[in-house]
């Protein structure tokens, strides 16, 4: 844009690409976990940890590759998503490495007849794979609207992913794993979350007018027509089935919640939220009344200290509560807490307990804010997106992310019954890390399209002939 002197020009501000902001934040996001890593080493062994250099370089490399790919293939993407996710992933790695150092957890594994394997190298590998998936999605997904073509295919895939674990043996009380001999196990629910939100976005984009407008007013609420209730009933039934056959409270809560959020966004009808809450309450109470696994979780939630010494589940929750308590406001410091007393799953489902004990309230709040910022950037992307499919997809993905964080953090802190999901990016687990990096990659692609300046109007008005007024 050229300026003649002494003029004011009014124009639409194209969002700048902001890649340098992203790079600076990313550098910051790599330095913080390195600091934490040094901190753990100094506190536990009194010296700088030996793996420090490799760890720092590894994390820096992964972040750098992610940044370069975004710079090349998604130039106008949101500058915050990648650094925030990288920071959470880095802090998660430090937390897992810190728990690896605990002799108590090694002893526990030995007592149960396992060979103790440190989890941090695995998690580093998963993070690398996650960044790999991120890079692949950013490069090969040219335009998020392509996903719209696969609306019903995604439905079938999601159903497959949700139903498949039923045919595999239960692990740790829940059937949410697919075990591939020789390759390890996979938690398909994490991926189903993304595939399902593609289906919901495609479906609701077509059907939202029928759902929003064809309704009767009753007691200040818009009641949907009976036949429009079909899809919500189907999703509800599916999530109840998941709950009953896979005894997985978290996944079913996540899917149903995500669907209600997207219904609300698509139709602007509060009645869907009321319906959703009522239906999930009925479903949860109904299932809890006969499913023993769910009952145990609810009991552990209602009285965590009552089951001390009797049930491992409630003992874990009470240990987690005690670690939050002993952390206080500023925490005990890296490596100086006793959150390894949580025992099994201390580095996956209960990882927030370690944060609570070693970083205290201040640290937990900062971590939750970082999760909140990721969700905020997702919703902001949805606001800026120009196509309805992109809007709904960004809303659905960030909604799913938010619900997952709420369900896990709420469960660990005793706000709601514990559900056995993973804290995105932080908790130990390959499926979770991979799926969440893919989720962030899709958000980055949508935000790239949304923030890309509109192409110059062609043909340019300067080139066009001025029409002559004929009297």
Partner 1 sequence: MSELTLTVMRLGFLAVLWLFVIVAVQVIRSDLFGTRVTQRGSRRGGETRPQRAQAQAAPPQQRQQQPAAGGGRRAERGRRGAPTKLVVSEGSLTGTTVALQGQTISLGRAHDSTIVLDDDYASSRHARIYPDRDGQWIVEDLGSTNGTYLDRTRLTTPTPIPLGAPIRIGKTVIELRK
- Closest C-alpha among 200, 104, 191 to residue 155: 200
Considering beta carbons, is residue 5 or 111 the nearer one to partner 1? Answer: 5
Our finding on whether 469 is near partner 1 (CB under 8 A) is: yes
What stretches of 243-307 adopt beta strand conformation (E)? none
Considering beta carbons, is residue 80 or 195 the nearer one to partner 1? Answer: 80
CB of 462 to partner 1, least distance (A): 5
Distance CA 226, CA 424 (A): 37
- Centre a 10 Å sphere on the Cβ of residue 305 and count the other Cβ atoms it contains: 12
Cis peptide before 258 (omega within 30 of 0): no
Distance CA 249, CA 156 (A): 22
Which among 229-237, 261-269, 437-445, 456-464 is the span making contact with partner 1, rule CB under 8 A?
A: 456-464
The per-residue DSSP string of 35-50 comes to HHHHHHHHHHHSS--T
Distance CA 108, CA 224 (A): 54
Provide the mask over 79-118, with x wherever binding to partner 1 is found by CB under 8 A and - wherever it is not. xx--xx--x-------------------------------
Considering beta carbons, is residue 8 or 111 the nearer one to partner 1? Answer: 8
Which among 39-47, 130-138, 233-241, 294-302 is the span making contact with partner 1, rule CB under 8 A?
A: 39-47
Distance CA 272, CA 262 (A): 10
Our finding on whether 468 is near partner 1 (CB under 8 A) is: yes
Which position among 220, 227, 290, 462 is part of the footprint of partner 1 (CB under 8 A)? 462
Q: Which two tokens stand for residue 203?
A: 């479906």
Which among 22-30, 175-183, 290-298, 410-418 is the span making contact with partner 1, rule CB under 8 A?
A: 22-30
The CA dihedral of 161, 165, 166, 172, to the nearest 10 degrees, is: -150
Our finding on whether 362 is near partner 1 (CB under 8 A) is: yes
Our finding on whether 360 is near partner 1 (CB under 8 A) is: yes
Q: Are strands 184-186 and 221-224 parallel, antiparallel or unpaired?
A: unpaired
Q: Which of residues 314-333 bind partner 1 (CB under 8 A)?
A: 330-333
Our finding on whether 455 is near partner 1 (CB under 8 A) is: no
CB of 272 to partner 1, least distance (A): 28
Q: Which two tokens stand for residue 236?
A: 């509800």
Under a CB-based contact definition with an 8 Å cutoff, are residues 443 and 378 in contact? yes
Our finding on whether 14 is near partner 1 (CB under 8 A) is: yes
Which among 75-83, 182-190, 271-279, 400-408 is the span making contact with partner 1, rule CB under 8 A?
A: 75-83
Our finding on whether 160 is near partner 1 (CB under 8 A) is: no
Our finding on whether 140 is near partner 1 (CB under 8 A) is: no
Considering beta carbons, is residue 11 or 111 the nearer one to partner 1? Answer: 11
Distances in Å between the alpha carbon of 350 and those of 10, 92, 414, 427? 53, 12, 12, 8
Collapsing DSSP to helix, strand or coil, 364 comes out as: helix
Our finding on whether 48 is near partner 1 (CB under 8 A) is: no
Long-range contacts of 241-245 (CB under 8 A, 24+ apart): 242/162, 243/283, 243/284, 243/287, 243/291, 243/294, 244/287, 244/291, 245/166, 245/175
What stretches of 127-269 adopt beta strand conformation (E)? 178-180, 184-186, 215-218, 221-224
Considering beta carbons, is residue 7 or 111 the nearer one to partner 1? Answer: 7
Our finding on whether 4 is near partner 1 (CB under 8 A) is: yes
Which among 20-28, 167-175, 388-396, 410-418 is the span making contact with partner 1, rule CB under 8 A?
A: 20-28
CB of 69 to partner 1, least distance (A): 20
Distance CA 449, CA 77 (A): 8
CB of 381 to partner 1, least distance (A): 12
The number of C-alpha atoms within 13 Å of 109 and in the hemisphere containing its C-beta is 15
Pinpoint the alpha helices (H) of 303-359.
312-327, 351-358
Which among 5-13, 63-71, 117-125, 226-234 is the span making contact with partner 1, rule CB under 8 A?
A: 5-13
The footprint of partner 1 on this chain (CB under 8 A) covers a number of residues equal to 60
Interface positions with partner 1 (CB under 8 A): 1-15, 18, 21, 25, 28-29, 31-32, 35-36, 39, 42-43, 46, 79-80, 83-84, 87, 330-334, 336, 359-360, 362-363, 366, 369-370, 373, 376-377, 380, 384, 451, 460-462, 464, 466-469
């Amino acid at each position: 844009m050229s300026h003649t002197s002494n003029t004011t020009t009014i124009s639409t501000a194209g969002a700048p690409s902001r890649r340098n902001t992203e790079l600076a934040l990313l550098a910051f996001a790599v330095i913080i976990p390195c600091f934490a890593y040094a901190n753990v080493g100094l506190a536990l062994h009194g010296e700088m940890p030996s793996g420090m250099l490799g760890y720092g370089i590894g994390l820096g490399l992964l972040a750098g590759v992610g940044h370069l790919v975004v710079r090349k293939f998604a130039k106008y993407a949101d500058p915050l998503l990648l650094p925030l996710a990288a920071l959470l992933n880095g802090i998660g790695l430090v937390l897992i490495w810190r728990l690896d150092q605990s002799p108590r957890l090694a002893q526990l594994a030995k007592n149960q007849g396992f060979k103790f394997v440190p989890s941090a190298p695995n998690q580093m590998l998963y993070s690398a794979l996650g960044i790999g998936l991120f890079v692949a999605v950013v490069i090969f997904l040219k335009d998020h609207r392509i996903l719209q073509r696969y609306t019903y295919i995604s439905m079938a895939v999601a159903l497959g992913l949700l139903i498949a674990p039923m045919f595999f043996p239960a692990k740790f009380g829940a059937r949410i794993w697919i075990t591939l001999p020789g390759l390890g196990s996979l938690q398909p629910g994490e991926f189903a979350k993304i595939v399902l939100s593609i289906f919901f976005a495609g479906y609701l984009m077509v059907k939202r007018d029928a759902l929003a407008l064809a309704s009767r007013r009753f007691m200040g609420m818009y009641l949907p027509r009976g036949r429009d209730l079909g899809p919500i009933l189907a999703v509800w039934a599916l999530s109840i089935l998941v709950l009953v056959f896979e005894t997985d409270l978290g996944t079913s809560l996540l899917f149903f919640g995500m669907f209600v959020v997207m219904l609300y966004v698509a139709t602007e009808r509060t009645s869907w939220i009321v319906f959703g809450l009522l239906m999930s309450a009925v479903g949860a109470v109904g299932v809890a009344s006969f499913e023993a696994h769910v009952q145990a979780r609810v009991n552990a939630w209602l009285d965590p200290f009552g089951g001390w010494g009797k049930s491992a589940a409630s003992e874990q929750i009470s240990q987690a509560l005690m670690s939050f308590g002993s952390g206080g406001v500023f925490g005990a410091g890296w490596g100086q807490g006793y959150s390894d007393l949580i025992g099994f799953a201390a580095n996956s489902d209960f990882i927030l307990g370690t944060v609570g004990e070693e970083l205290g309230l201040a640290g937990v709040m900062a971590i939750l804010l970082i999760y909140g910022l990721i969700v905020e950037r997702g919703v902001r992307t949805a606001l800026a997106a120009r196509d309805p499919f992109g809007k709904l997809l960004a809303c659905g993905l960030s909604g799913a992310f938010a619900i997952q964080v709420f369900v896990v953090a709420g469960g660990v802190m005793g706000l709601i019954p514990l559900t056995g999901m993973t804290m995105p990016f932080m908790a130990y687990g390959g499926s979770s890390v991979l799926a969440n990096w893919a989720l962030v990659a899709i958000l980055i692609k949508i935000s790239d399209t949304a923030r890309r300046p509109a192409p110059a109007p062609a043909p340019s008005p300067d080139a066009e002939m001025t029409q002559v007024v004929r009297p």
